[in-house]
Amino acid sequence: MTDDIDGKHGVQSLEIGMGILRAMVNGQRSMMLKEIAAAADMPASKAHRYLVSLIRAGLVEQDPMSSRYDLGPFAMNIGLVALDRLDRVRLGLAAIAEMRDEINQTTALAVWGDKGPVIVRWERPRRPITVNVITGTVLDLLSSATGRVFAAWMPKKTVAPMIADELKHARLAPELRTRAGVEAMLAEVRSLGFAATGGQHKVPGVEAVAAPVFNFKNEISMAVLVVGVQGMFDTSPDGEVVGSLRRHAEALSVRLGAHGEPKIPT
């Protein structure tokens, strides 16, 4: 009997065990045996045999008081090592390139820097009229789509001083000249899951949409954005641009370990 060097055949029992682990991860809490068995679509007796082996491997542990099962210390270590090895920016660059190809618009990636959101890369579309984005540009919190996304989900103690400064010195739309107006805008951004701006005073005729990318702590890690000429692309919530933007942002968040609802800043 020869080894299967092409990898077409696997170990079925291992795949079944991984199915049980996947069911436990998707459960997002400790679970009883019958719940795990139902989620993994197998008899409880079969699930129990696999759980015994997973416990021995450190991938699962059982609370002796409640009899509930949860992920074990080795599973936690695997997750932390995998997250540590992820290059979030590399993943983000791949996402904005794919997004550019889908919608043929200028796309970009931003991260949080010492002075606020910073553009780290942008992708040029294949169209005669485009909007160029300068790498290294620091964006305002209240007058840019990306800034609004970060302001909506960053810790308040981090963004509050910057917002206060912009309220004093920046040229803002009338509805954003008070703290109450800013809070209303940020609440709307959190409700929609993205931010949109049009005809900015610093760059007349330019509009943008941005969406947050969350990490395994459900905290904002990056933002992806689309920039275009005002009136030349659809920024409505149900439009192609926002649909592509949100889909890629959500996929990136999942890739970075995000789960459940984003953490609301305090």
Tell me the per-residue pLDDT of 28-48, one tens digit each, with 9 for 90 and over: 789 999 999 999 999 999 999
DSSP-derived secondary structure for 225-256: EEEEETTSS--STTSHHHHHHHHHHHHHHHHT
Average pLDDT, rounded, for the chain = 88
Please state the pTM of the whole predicted model.
0.70
Tokens of 258: 């995000």
Is 12-84 a domain of CATH 1.10.3720.10?
no
Tokens of 217: 């702590």
CATH architecture of the region 87-255: 2-Layer Sandwich (3.30)
Hey, where are the domains in the chain?
Answer: 12-84, 87-255
Tokens of 34: 């019958």
Describe the crossing of helices 12-27 and 44-56 by its angle, rounded to 10 degrees. 90
In angstroms, the CA 85 to CA 108 distance is: 23
List, for the chain, all residue ranges whose pLDDT scores fall below the cut of 50. Answer: 1-6, 201
Q: What is the pLDDT of residue 100?
A: 95
Q: What is the pLDDT of residue 3?
A: 43
